[in-house]
Amino acid sequence: MSDALLMAVLDALLPGDATLPPASRAGLDVAKLAAPAQPLLARIDARAFLAADAAGRSDLLRAVAQSDPVAFRECLDRALAAYYQAPTVLAVFGWRSEPPMPQGHELIGDDGPALALLDTVRDRGPLWRR
């Protein structure tokens, strides 16, 4: 399996748009995606896939997805998780790439309706024994 085939498949699955980068420019760790993608890539004719245009690649992936939906789903699940956790993609959404703990995330100011939902929790008082 070549990294070129894996990146071409990822770009076909996650092509990006005007704001989001394609998978190949999102900074994904190809090494972590290689093993889950192996069953899917084994079913793809690399030469035909790399030579195909975007529509042809979609057709080839659709055929593979129908022939082995489990392998396709496993690869897609891992690719989506890696893509939407990539710092490049998080930055497009305006999200921090650092973990929320221990620094925590900044809370939006006084949001009355959202905070009102917590009134019943606050009114209930502590649930532990003293």
In this structure, is residue 91 part of a structural domain?
yes
In total, how many domains does the chain have? 1
In this structure, is residue 118 part of a structural domain?
no
Tokens of 115: 């905070």
Q: What is the pTM of this model?
A: 0.73
Task: Give residue-wise pLDDT tens across range 23-66.
Answer: 999 999 888 899 989 999 999 999 999 999 999 999 999 999 99
The values of phi and psi at residue 7, to 5°, are -65, -35
Task: Give residue-wise pLDDT tens across range 86-108.
Answer: 999 999 998 877 776 677 666 66
Residue 47 structural domain: 3-102
